[in-house]
Structure 1
Amino acid sequence: MPHTDLTSSASSTPIRFGAQPLAIEDVVALARRERSAQLHDAPDFRARIARGADFLDRLLREDGTIYGVTTGYGDSCTVTVPPELVPELPHHLYTYHGCGLGALFTPEQARAILAARLNSLCQGFSGVSVALLEQITGLLQHDLLPQIPCEGSVGASGDLTPLSYLAAVLCGERDVWREGATVPAAQALAAAGMTPLRLRPKEGLAIMNGTAVMTALACLAFDRARYLCQLATRITAMSSFTLDGNAHHFDATLFSAKPHPGQQQVAAWLQRDLPCGQAHRNEKRLQDRYSVRCAPHVIGVLNDALPSLRQFIENELNSANDNPLIDPDGERVLHGGHFYGGHIAFAMDSMKTAVANVADLLDRQMALMVDQRYNNGLPANLSGAQGARAPINHGLKALQISASAWTAEALKLTMPASVFSRSTECHNQDKVSMGTIAARDCLRVLELTEQVAAALLITVRQGVWLRSQRQQVGDTPLQDLPAGRLAAMQAALSEDIAVVAEDRMLEPDLRLLLQRIRAQAWSLYD
């Protein structure tokens, strides 16, 4: 992506950190560079931030004992740091935590991480300076993104190791992404007119000891899961049409008898897509197989979970979650465990299970559509080949195998990460959340499920075309045969995907569809 400095962008309304609580959509917009970042300039906000930092300064002058300021960290809290070494302690904290491994978080993920950490520090309970908040804001404005390895966090005391890479970059150390290239942080800051920070006594701990990484990933996961819920519903409608299914399975009165609102919403979407009246009742088969008939019940679990998952994620996003917290009004140092990411761990473990079930549902629909025994009169593997060349064409046979593989991998990853707590750091961190691993797993399950959805989009595009060919009568236009919304979706898919009349390599089609899915290119039910 070309580098654009968003500090003066007129194309978006800036998100002002410290002005009001953030929503998941705000983090997603920042991550995608659809909106810019600003630090709230209200005097009362900045005064509150300054009071916390000033209180810590006064405690230090009075020789107060402050965890992580005049003591070592974690199990080393009993080690007193001599006053002359206190200024060096934050540097040591981010230095010895520079042991992350694995792939680097993507630029989009890195922006979300910056946003989540900045918003937490803006709550005014972390004892940091306004200058630190401005420095993180500057990274977002100039799109200078810390290169953060994704592995190494147990989710309490927060995301220490990954967030050490943010702390180091703020001080001009390690590397950043700039315009897609790796650049030393000191060089990138200088080019942007920014000066490396010298962290104040608690600021290293405040940056690192929190749940920003898992929370940022959870925001991105939520956005993808919400869209996937709608996309799976649209695919189900097209699957039902392909299979010549019974649309009355989605009757409003039927679903009034089991009033889960998310499930009812999925059924209502299907009613909007398919003709559900008595005149359209399919009398050839009383009941469709579960992967079609029970689709609202499967997708509905995810849809019903989204409001509570949003609450978990947004509460964490708008919390102060480091330790200790600094009460700037009561002038107290409060030692606790808000760095524990249990709510995000639970949200991500729950989400990935619901999403993987959607993958399994779609995979079962595809298995029915490609099987000549169950697809109600369509060709085997939905092959579009006819005549003399039909025997050597295999249609979507291999695509169904790949979709099954992606589904199996998604299902395999549904073991909850949160149950794998480990005792770490000399048994100080003896119960940890594993929230970041849960979030990473959830994103992988979403990625795999999106791949299954891409395979299904090829399948239903082919299946709707074949079914329409068989139902076309006289001069009736093809687009009038599916319901109006399905006709529009079929037309949109037809712009990207040609009919599979002769076997061809489908990887390019899949990759294009994945781009469309991740860009949320189709307006579905909103």
Structure 2
Amino acid sequence: MTAVLETGLSQPAQTAKPVISFGKGRISIEQINAIAGQAAPVGLSDDAHFAEKINAGVAFLDKLLQEDGVIYGVTTGYGDSVTVKVPLSQVYELPIHLTRFHGCGLGEHFTPEQGRAILATRLCSLSQGYSGVSFELLNLLVAFLNHDIVPCIPQEGSVGASGDLTPLSYVAAALIGERDVFHQGQIRPAAEVMAAYGLNPVTLRPKEGLAIMNGTAVMTALACQAYQRAEYLTRMSSRITALASLALQGNSHHFDDILFSVKPHQGQNEVAGWIRHDLNHYEHPRNSSRLQDRYSIRCAPHIIGVLRDALPWFKQTIENELNSANDNPIIDGIGEHVLHGGHFYGGHIAMVMDTMKTAVANLADLHDRQMALLMDTKFNNGLPSNLSAATPERRYINHGFKAVQIGCSAWTAEALKLTMPASVFSRSTECHNQDKVSMGTIAARDCLRVLQLTEQVVAASLLAVQQGVQLRIARGELCFSSLTAELQQMLHSLQQQHAQISEDRPLEAELRLLVTQLQQQHWPLYQENTDAQR
């Protein structure tokens, strides 16, 4: 049966755009995300050395099979069944069984965008040339991406070592024409969609089922998407803090460049520079009625800066995993080595995701505290209760952002609850063969959930701080012309979409729109000419 997705129609890949080539040179997080967002088609390198590695791996495996060599997962069973010798007459059936018995994933499906990231990430690993796969398989992965044929992959069922076996079995199954795929806004049988494009299901060669499944592609693909969202949140959190400082009539000297020069964390200083720029500190330095603002304003660069300073390590680690051969065994066709190891172990991604989700949740907590200051007349320096812009005679029944702040507390609490590291919950499984596992995929899924919750808090905070600033301007307590051009433009844009809340109205639709805009990075923030570059 054909099911129509609520997400709408997927658009075909645009072949006029520059092709991202796999097989020569490193692939970046940004390239994986571009492929996931259908912003670029893909292809394979025409580099001669790349072709030599791929062809040598296939030829070497064929040679070993002729010599009756013992290769894990090729002539043996899987996992604890490594001691089971598979008759050569059944070697070509073994990969199909691998894909089928792992077809037990549960939970929601990854979105088509996430599925494209997973396909591209697995293609990157296989294109390293150490997995013993054929060009036929690589070319089919390329065709899936360029025709937007995305396997329906359940989110649950991976312990992150021996790789993302169960979710990646849905990739392998689709390539052999089994199970379902997302295509043009519908869920359809893989074989049916492939036939429409003249694509033949691949016959998996020995090792190819294992090569597709026994790796870290799911967790790494999710990490690529998480990185992009976390990076943008450091920028938006800085912008919101600046607006909150303006709304609260805070002290801009808290972000002074001399002050931050004596604590030289690069990311922290970058954040302080962004906030200082937004506050127009050099042209219009502002002193608060308090000598020192509360921590959620004064220490914001130190809080946001933790995540900002961790981003280079996150990026390096994610991209190292992305550009690695992370299945088992490793096939060195040119040197004629079969190397049995554990490169499917997702410990590095697990650590990045556990660390990232903690730093991101701290941003939710930061903005939840800023919201509390803005709502409360004991702390907001003369702003109306709950930031309501109601007229004096209507103030009795209007409640402004009261419920939104309650929502922020709920979203923040859930985000903070999810910061328990998944990587410490290793479970011995599969007859104690997989007796220490990474839980990297669960960590990545947790991180994406924390990002979603934090983006909800940030969206609510953005709506609130712009109202606070507008109230100050309307009361003559802040001069609009004293604001930077970037702030003026953003405030004008927000006010066009979100009228001032003078009479209570449902805000769900507006909050959902803001969350979507955050995830699409709708607002360009902090270009090279900002004060942060001084």
Q: TM-score range by the shorter chain?
A: over 0.9
**Distance verdict in 2 for CA 1:490–1:260, change over 3 Å:** same
Q: Which amino acid is the alignment partner of residue 430 of structure 1?
A: D
From 112, 116, 122, give the equivalent of 1:111. 116
SS of corresponding position for 1:406: helix
Q: How far 1:130 sits from its partner (Å)?
A: 0.7
Instruction: Please state how far the C-alpha of 1:75 moved relative to its aligned partner.
Output: 0.3
**CA offsets, 1:457-501, max 9 Å, x none?**
11011101011112258xxxx631434332222112112111001
Identity %: 62
2:57/2:331 contact within 8 Å kept: yes
Distance 1:290 1:433 in 2: 36
CA shift digits 1:124-177 (9 cap, x unpaired): 000010110001111001000000000000000000000000000000000000
Partner of 1:504: 505
Q: 1:21 aligns with which of 18, 21, 26?
A: 26
User: Counterpart of 1:83?
Assistant: 88
Selected match of 1:5 from 8, 12, 15: 12
User: What is the CA–CA distance in structure 2 between the aligned matches of 1:159 and 1:507, rounded to whole Å?
Assistant: 36
Letter in 1 for 2:486: R
Q: TM-score normalised to the size of structure 1?
A: 0.97
Say whether the 8 Å CA contact 1:468–1:482 is kept in structure 2: no
Aligned residue for 1:218, secondary structure, equals helix
Residue 378 in structure 1 maps to residue 379 in structure 2? no
Which structure 2 residues correspond to residues 173-184 of structure 1 after superposition, within 5 A? 173-184=178-189
CA contact (8 A) 2:325 2:343 kept: yes
CA distance in 1, matches of 2:170, 2:303: 40
Alpha-carbon distance in 1 for matches of 2:401, 2:28: 41
Distance in 1 between residues matched to 2:423 and 2:49, nearest whole Å:
39
**Cα 1:119/1:283, change in 2 over 3 Å:** closer
Q: Which amino acid aligns with 2:188?
A: V
Code of the aligned partner of 1:65: V
How many equivalent pairs are there?
Answer: 520
Which of 227, 237, 240 is equivalent to 1:232? Answer: 237
Q: Which amino acid aligns with 1:293?
A: R
Q: For 1:479 and 1:39, locate their aligned partners in 2 and report how far apart those are by CA, in whole Å.
A: 53
Give the 5 Å matches for 1:14-413.
14-277=19-282, 280-413=285-418
Q: Deviations over 1:211-252 (max 9, x none)?
A: 000000000000000001100000000000000000110000
- Find the aligned partners of 2:496 and 2:28 in 1 and give their Cα distance: 34
Provide the rounded CA distance (Å) in 2 between the counterparts of 1:118 and 1:277.
Answer: 50
1:521 maps to 522
Measured against aligned partners, the alpha-carbon deviations of 1:409-451 in whole angstroms (never above 9, x if no partner) come to 0000000000000101001000000000000000000000000
> How far is 1:283 from its partner?
4.9
| Matched residue type, 1:338 | H
Residue deviations 1:30-53 (CA, integer Å, cap 9, x gap) = 000111111223333122101001
Output the CA distance in 2 between the equivalents of 1:66 and 1:237.
Answer: 60
Cα pair 1:91 1:199 within 8 Å, conserved: yes
Do the aligned partners of 1:176 and 1:182 also contact (CA within 8 Å) in 2? Answer: yes
**Which amino acid is 1:104 matched to?**
H
- The amino acid that maps onto 2:243 is M
Instruction: Tell me the distance in 2 between the aligned counterparts of 1:518 and 1:424.
Output: 37
Verify: 1:445 aligned to 2:464, yes or no.
Answer: no
20 and 101 in structure 1: CA distance in 2 versus 1, 3 angstrom threshold: same
Q: 1:350 to 1:3 in 2, by over 3 A?
A: closer
Partner of 1:458: 463
Partner Cα separation in structure 2 for residue 250 and residue 481 of structure 1: 18
* Cα distance between partner residues in 2 of 1:117 and 1:302: 28
1:206 aligned partner, one-letter code: A
Aligned to 2:263, the other structure's residue is in SS state coil
Unaligned runs of 5+ in 1: none
The answer to whether the 8 Å contact 2:364/2:412 transfers is yes
1:3: how far off? Answer: 4.2
Whether the aligned pair in 2 keeps the contact of 1:146 and 1:177 (CA below 8 Å) is yes
Give the secondary structure class of the aligned counterpart of 2:396.
helix
- For the residues of structure 1 that align with 2:10 and 2:154, how far apart are their CA atoms? 22
Give 1:5's aligned amino acid.
P
Q: Which amino acid aligns with 2:451?
A: L
Secondary structure of the equivalent of 2:377?
Answer: coil
TM superposition outliers: structure 1 runs of 4+ over 6 Å: none
- Paired with 1:375 and 1:158, the residues of 2 have a C-alpha distance of 51
Q: Does 1:427 align with 2:432?
A: yes
SS in 1 for 2:234: helix
Asked if structure 2 preserves the Cα contact closer than 8 Å seen for 1:406 and 1:452, the reply is: yes
- Counterpart contact for 2:374–2:380, Cα < 8 Å: yes
1:286-326 CA-to-partner distances (Å, cap 9, x unmatched) read 00000000000000000000000001100000000000000
Do 2:280 and 2:482's aligned partners in 1 also have CA atoms closer than 8 Å? no
Q: In structure 2, what is the Cα distance between the partners aligned to 1:283 and 1:44?
A: 64
The separation in 2 between residues aligned to 1:41 and 1:171, in whole angstroms, is: 25
Q: Is the 8 A contact 1:472 1:481 kept in 2?
A: no
Contact 1:74/1:425, CA 8 A, preserved across alignment: yes
